[in-house]
Structure 1
């Protein structure tokens, strides 16, 4: 379970996200640029709010908040709320589903598994991942709405 959680969590490391539009572009999909544009705007809007929230709430991670609790991995930053991995996963899932509705059943379960993996690895509380899911979905929808006239989505 720990190995699977590590793999799922790593799949939501941000540097993988531009690969999807790149692969689509190389495959000749004309929607790749629009997908990249909405995803980029979504992250440009989401990341500052994420960092502000993280540093405003300053919620300790489970290993610091719960005596005797040890997390499986070392988190990349100090605070827990909201989950950035989960936010990013839901943002990507939402943008992908805007363009490819048939991938709903692949993308949202993946995003949910990312959130669950962060809990199982001991670096987040469930409410951290729930907030991340809401945040990522919201900013994807906002970016899609802002760019609807440009991208045709």
Structure 2
């Protein structure tokens, strides 16, 4: 699986740790869209870059990290086709894949430590979407809402 990862300055350190973990421990390919240092940057830029790779199919899933994960998740969910969830625990990480078929995960470096973050990422990457009719129907309703608000030129 190819995973794109992006962070702002508030998530830089955790992003660096997660990159190594995803590649070396989990065996996935990682594309890093930045940021490349702990200097102040704007999180929407990195959410946009990472989510574009998920939307285009260049990456299978995306992970976004900022101080709390909140800003990244808000920015990501503005993009069509993105279902981003903020997770601070393993139960939510599993549920968001099984029930919501999320394709982007947001994490907060100031909220979860590296050990928990790695466990959340592992579970999120290894959990499949439950193909049950009720979950599929709900995802379709989300897509209908998204489509109804799309701006058509």
TM-score bracket, shorter-length normalisation? under 0.3
Higher strand share: 2
Instruction: Calculate the TM-score normalised by the size of structure 2.
Output: 0.28
Highest CA radius of gyration, 1 or 2?
Answer: 1
Greater RCO, 1 or 2 (C-alpha within 8 Å, sep 6+): 1
